[in-house]
Amino acid sequence: MTVLGKILVFIILVLALLQAALHIMFHIGQANWVAEYGKLKQSYMVAQAERDAFETERKEALADRDKAIGEMQNQVAVLQKQLKDEQDKSNTLTTQVGGARDNQTKSDATLAGATTDIQRHTEEVKRLDDAIKDKDKRIGDLVKNNNELRERTVQAEITSRALGGRNQELETKLEDMSKELIKVKSIGGGGSSGSSPTVTAKNPPPSQIEGLITKTDPSGLVTVSIGSDAGLLKGHDLEVFRMNPPKYLGTIRLMDVRSNEAVGRPLAKPLGPIQQGDRVASQISW
């Protein structure tokens, strides 16, 4: 074997080792992304459950508070009516007593009867006053309970908002991780083939646009949820991908564009079946 042949064999060996190292690094990176994605998804589900529990507790506290306030208002209305009736009776009796005093010389029996009625009604007024004091005490307890319920409601609202912000942060992280997984899988699908991929000139919209696949057809045509109102034109290309599970599907070219929807066809054979609910975008941002 000539020196040139030995050099070529050595170069080929180095390139083979380099390719093997790159494959190993790719598989390790993919496994780490999948594990991190699973952890974030589990954290999101736990946070969602906590938020639902706090929301349920808040609603129950509000319902208890409203019920207690309603009962308290009904009781106050009844007591106010009873007090007014007794005040009216007391005023009537006072008038009767005045008339009885004026006519004392004419009828001592009538005065005695009126005095007896006054005493009886006075006892009734005292009894109602005691009942009102008892109701006032109960109203004070209800107000105290209402304040406690209000504090619990405010605390539950604060906790709910905190969980809402945490959920939003987790959702953002999940979406970022999903896009990273789509990128890793799309790179992996292209690197595993021995032949070079076919390069097709693409014509994406000038601005970032996102939408959904709303309908598919056996002939390969797909309908998207955005149209000329969003800036799309006939001949524009959109990338198709799926978030759950993350997967890049390919590119479609728009053949017909209306105000709020458009119809397109894949530029090449998709990397998987395009389904209703898959996402489309001008470009996938990593």
**pLDDT of res. 221:** 96
Please determine, for residue 191, whether its predicted confidence score (pLDDT) is greater than 50.
no
Q: What's the rounded Cα separation, in Å, for the pair 59 and 77?
A: 27
d(CA 181, CA 37): 9
pLDDT of 166: 52
One-letter amino acid of 116: T
Q: Are residues 49 and 157 in the same domain?
A: yes
Q: State residue 265 phi and psi, 5-degree precision.
A: -135, 145
From 15-29, 126-140, 163-177, 201-215, the region with the lowest mean pLDDT: 163-177
Q: Is residue 258 part of a domain?
A: yes
Lowest mean pLDDT among 47-51, 105-109, 152-156, 159-163: 159-163
- Mean of per-residue pLDDT scores for the chain: 81
Q: Are residues 274 and 140 in the same domain?
A: no
- Give the predicted TM-score (pTM) of the model: 0.35
Confidence of residue 231 (pLDDT cuts 50, 70, 90): very high
| Structural domain containing residue 52 | 42-189
Q: What are residue 176's phi and psi, to 5 degrees?
A: -65, -45
168 inside domain: yes
Same domain, 98 and 218: no
The length of the chain, given as a count of residues: 286
Domain boundary among 189, 220, 240: 189
Band (pLDDT 50/70/90 cuts) for residue 271 is very high
Average pLDDT over residues 163-171: 56
More confident residue, 82 or 200: 82
Neighbours of 164 (CB within 10 A): 14
Q: Which residues pair with 239 in a beta bridge?
A: 251, 281
| Res. 172: pLDDT tops 80 | no
Q: In the beta sheet, which residues pair with residue 254? A: 264
**How many domains in the chain?**
2
Percent of the chain's residues with pLDDT above 90:
27
What is the distance between the alpha carbons of residues 4 and 170, in angstroms, rounded to a whole number? 58
**Beta strand spans in 183-243 (E):** 210-216, 222-224, 237-243
Claim to verify: residue 79 and residue 154 sit in the same structural domain: yes
Residues 6+ apart with CB under 8 A from 272: 242, 247, 249
Paired tokens of 138 = 């109960």
**Token code pair at residue 24:** 């190993």
Token reading at 253? 């070219």
Same domain, residue pair 218 and 86: no
Which range of 25-34, 151-160, 175-184, 229-238 scores highest in mean pLDDT? It is 229-238
Q: Residue 160 — very low, low, confident or very high, per pLDDT cuts 50/70/90?
A: low
- Are 169 and 229 contained in the same domain? no
Greater confidence, 224 or 118? 224
98 with 234, same domain?
no
